[in-house]
Amino acid sequence: MHAMYTGFGHMSTNPDNRASLPIPMVYEQFPAQALRWEYHVLTIDPREETLPLAERLNELGREGWILVGVLDESTTGKGGKIQYYFTRQLQN
């Protein structure tokens, strides 16, 4: 059996025992302000209008809106509209 040097002042007989390097810790201070968000709901009744095309969704994206959810009311049995939920961080 061969002994291996682990790099920390002792020998190991386990060949799978590898020396590990210390992990540096970095601490940064951030302002203690809570992020503020605003929301936009785009409601479409597919019986009366077409679903939003990529052009409309791209327009909302250029305005900073991020699509976070879609609800098809027909799956809940409480309606037939489709709601697209968007959010973006409020700018101070």
Nearest in space to 49 (alpha carbons), one of 84, 86, 81, 73: 81
How far apart, in whole angstroms, are the C-alpha atoms of residue 12 and residue 2?
A: 9
* Model confidence, pTM: 0.62
For 13-42, write each residue's pLDDT tens digit: 666 666 677 888 888 887 777 889 999 999
92 contacts 37 by C-beta, under 8 angstroms: no
Q: What does the pLDDT read at residue 5? A: 47
For 35-66, write each residue's pLDDT tens digit: 899 999 999 999 999 999 999 999 999 999 99
How far apart, in whole angstroms, are the C-alpha atoms of residue 66 and residue 61?
A: 6
Residue type for 75, please?
Answer: T
Domain boundaries, the chain: 35-92
